[in-house]
Amino acid sequence: MALQKVDLNVLTPEVFSVFGTQNALLTAGDKSNSNTMTIGWCGLGRMWNLPSCNVYVRQSRYTFNFIEKYQYFTISVLPRELHDKVTYCGIHSGRDVDKFQQCGLTLQYGIENAPFIAEAEWGIVCKKLYAQDLKPESVIDERVFKSYAAEGWHRMYIGEVLELYMK
């Protein structure tokens, strides 16, 4: 069953429990070419008086090329029984495999053909508003460095939430 478009004010996800435990898939691209990756970091709320979603992507990730190229990105939270699919998408690179095909995931499209996962509990379609690299010299609390022991820093993207889809 495809996700149905709903009013933005309907979604009240358990953000703190979903991101970091259930996690989600960040997808960017269009109908001809797209990629997805697992994310555990996400911020939902308001920025500049707009409904917003913040995501973070390392430049080394294959999805980085997609989120840089396309104006839109999506967040799909899959049900817990599909957690193995979320794990697969976090372990394997789209450079090497077609994650959608390997996981049996179906793409559904929102505004401007922004792809999200049809099997998700909910999908959020966002238009990029802002991007900025996170920098070590801006860290105030030393605990942040625990996330950067071996890999590069993230680029933060702030997107305006334009569409919401739910089962």
CATH classification of the domain holding 102: 2.30.110.10
pLDDT at 153 over 70: yes
pLDDT at residue number 12? 62
pLDDT at 11 over 80: no
pLDDT at 116 over 80: yes
Residue 148 Ramachandran class (φ > 0 left, ψ -120 to 50 alpha, else beta): alpha
Q: Which domain holds residue 147?
A: 4-166
Average pLDDT, the chain: 91
Residue 20 vs residues 17, 23, 38: alpha-carbon distances, Å? 7, 6, 11
Domain count, the chain: 1
Report d(CA 155, CA 131) in Å as an integer. Answer: 7
List, for residues 13-39, the tens digit of each pLDDT value.
566 667 767 779 999 999 999 999 999
Q: Summarize the confidence of residues 64-73 as an average pLDDT.
A: 98
DSSP 48: T
